Amino acid sequence: MGLLQNFRNNINQRNQGSASVAKERLQILVAHDRMGRDQPSYLKHLEREILEVIRKYVPVDEEAISVSYEQEGQQEILELNIILPDHGSRL
Amino acid sequence: MGLLQNFRNNINQRNQGSASVAKERLQILVAHDRMGRDQPSYLKHLEREILEVIRKYVPVDEEAISVSYEQEGQQEILELNIILPDHGSRL
């Protein structure tokens, strides 16, 4: 599965680069192929709601979230990178 | 941004391969680097809740969802691929 492999390879590379400051991290990518629809995007709403869901499980500081949003033609990609606090998991 | 580029390249490749059956799609990847925590995973819970969030915006058939979950060492990756119904967006 190419997408998954690319994703894992990239994360592994990142981890190797920052091994000395190992942090628990959560990365979320959402890609929407809209196929020519001329309708408003809901990805920005998804972003907020996905963060709310994650906060049910782990505390997330606002400053620990980096968000990237890109649109290219009919494709939108939302990327969330979250550094989780130490010992933050509630489960 | 390597991760984003890999993601986009891969999606573009997929799109080219299936251009004759163009469908609106949503792809979601969640990667969790747990950094050695010996705690239960909450990714399976996230999966269910993220799908609930998405259903607020677009109708999603159960059979249109494919889920992949992989765990390798301290890293978990959840992948959701959703084929959206034609004219399904509510916004």
Higher-pLDDT residue of B79, B20: B79
Among residues B28, B2, B90, which one has the least CA distance to residue A47?
B28
Domains observed in chain B: 22-91 (3.30.1070.10)
Q: Which residues of A touch B10 (CB under 8 A)?
A: 2-3, 6
Per-residue pLDDT at B34: 81
- Tens-digit pLDDT profile for residues A39-85: 778 888 899 999 999 999 888 988 999 999 998 888 899 999 999 88
Cβ within 8 Å, pair A27-B3: yes
A6-37: burial string, b at 16+ Cβ within 10 Å, e else: bbbebbeebbeeeeeeeebbbbbbbbbbbeeb
Distance, CA of B48 to CA of B45 (rounded, Å): 5
Which candidate in B7, B12, B90 is best for mutational testing of the A interface (most A CBs within 10 A)?
B7
Q: Do residues B31 and B80 touch, judged by C-beta distance below 8 A? A: no
Contact A87, A80 (CB under 8 A): no
The mean predicted confidence, pLDDT, of chain B is 78
